[in-house]
Chains A and B, each alone.
Chain A
Amino acid sequence: MRGSFEELAMPLFDSLYNFARWLTHDREEAEDLVQETFTKALKGFPSFRQGTNFRAWMFRILRNTFLTSRTGLKSGMTVSLDSEEGESAAAVTAETPESLLLAHSNQKMVQEAIEELPVIFREVILLCDVEEMSYQEISETIAIPIGTVMSRLARARNALRQSLTKKLQGE
């Protein structure tokens, strides 16, 4: 059993840690979170259904563990999601062209902007653009319908764009 768990889980170690750091903003907490995730996943591995998405399963365990932690409870995951389901992706149409925006922003600025996003936006943007998860995988990881994944992504990118614009104007 261990061989297969280790073979599946260890390649995700770096990504899980990166995600954990973005969620917690703290090295020690992120390390504890990753360790707890591995412990829980190993324990639950016999009940993991082979053929389903292991990566989404691991990230879901990490995220749920985070949500029940002190930092997770304080993280504002309960912010209002009014009209989330109905929001159209068209609402994100760029007012400020990203090409201009990104030419003037640097990596540190983008990192700060991601860091300042509410957790529900930060996680969806990281899972999509950094982990390159499909909408289906994101939907499995954070347990929301695909339509909500799409609208939440649109809102997250919009918020990130606004934040970058503000930062550039404040320079």
Chain B
Amino acid sequence: MACAAWRNKIGAYADGELSAEDMLDVGEHLRGCASCTADLLSRVQMKRSIQTAGKRFSPSLALRQRIEKGLPPQKKPARLWNWMATLAATCALLLIVSLTFYRSGASQQGRTFAELADLHVTTLASATPVDVVSTDRHTVKPWFQGKIPFAFNLPELGGTPFTLEGGRMAYLEQAPGAQLIFKIGNHRISVFIFQDRRDRRFAPGDTLSRNVTFNMETWAGDNLRYFVIGDADPGDIHKLSELLKSTAGS
């Protein structure tokens, strides 16, 4: 069967709508056809992009309350628990909720760090690590205008051991942001800047993590979330972070 005929099925394959038999057939074809695999990949990327962009609106609490009020009153439980049982249940629930939040927060944090480490490595491995090549912050910063939905400041590096190499667009969980490459000695450090999200939790205050092999520091300010990552000395990562912090608020 020609690729054009397979393409008929690839849309449904990406949507998970083929029969088990067809799924196997398409899977078999994909293993040997780079063109159809690229087509599938692009469709999946499009779906993901739509999914992220489409979850856009959240209802107000007032609307929720209005709707709940419109529902008939709930039947009272036949028997009230005694206060001891209620207290014990509440304590247990609080414990479970705390543990769940702690664990999900920690794993989410780990995923974010791992994703950023991947982005950093990919950039260093790339033949064109930066899209805007300049050591001048007044060239790099305006390049991002219109490409990302926020603005940021960059520090004056004169008199510091750091040099700016340039910048590029980066995406974290489908959200656009800036990636800046700094150099110190033979080490390259990536600085990622994204809009801060309330649902993305990090340990309070600045975080220095060695969990991802690289040294990393992160903080939030002015609704932006900064990540500084690289294989440079933790002291250098911290110095660059401090430089960025001092400029961010200015």
Contacts and interface: CB of A to CB of B under 8 A. Distances in A.
A17 B73 CA distance: 23
A78 B12 CA distance: 26
A13 B59 contact: yes
Nearest to B149: A108
B12 A150 contact: yes
Contact of B56 (A18, A99, A153, A161): A18
Interface in B37-56: 38-39, 41-43, 45-47, 49-56
Given A2-B72, A130-B50, A93 B42 contact: no
A13 B70 contact: no
B71 A6 contact: yes
Contacts of A35: 63, 66-67, 70
Contact of A102 (B49, B55, B63, B68): B49
Given A35-B70, A38-B70, A99 B45 contact: yes
26 contacts: A2-B74, A3-B74, A6-B71, A6-B74, A17-B59, A21-B56, A22-B57, A31-B60, A34-B67, A35-B66, A42-B71, A42-B72, A94-B39, A97-B42, A98-B46, A106-B149, A107-B53, A110-B50, A110-B52, A126-B50, A129-B47, A129-B54, A130-B55, A134-B17, A135-B12, A157-B43
Interface residues of B, number: 46
Contacts of B17: 134-135
B234 interface: no
DSSP class of A's interface residues: helix, strand, loop or mixed?
helix
A143 interface: no
A30 B67 CA distance: 13
A31 B59 contact: yes
Interface stretch (A52-60, A63-71, A84-92): A84-92
A125 interface: yes
A17 B62 CA distance: 13
Interface of A: 1-3, 5-6, 10, 13-14, 17-18, 21-22, 30-31, 34-35, 38-39, 42, 88-90, 92-94, 97-99, 102, 105-108, 110-111, 114, 125-126, 128-130, 132, 134-135, 150, 153-154, 157, 160-161, 171
Contacts of A90: 4-5, 7-8
B70 A22 contact: no
B25 interface: no
B56 to A, nearest CB: 6
Nearest to B148: A106
A99 B50 contact: no
Given A2-B72, A38-B70, 11 more contacts: A1-B72, A17-B58, A17-B59, A21-B57, A38-B71, A90-B8, A93-B4, A94-B39, A105-B49, A107-B53, A130-B54
A18 B54 contact: yes
B15 interface: yes
B175 interface: yes
Contacts of A150: 11-12
Contacts of A31: 59-60, 63
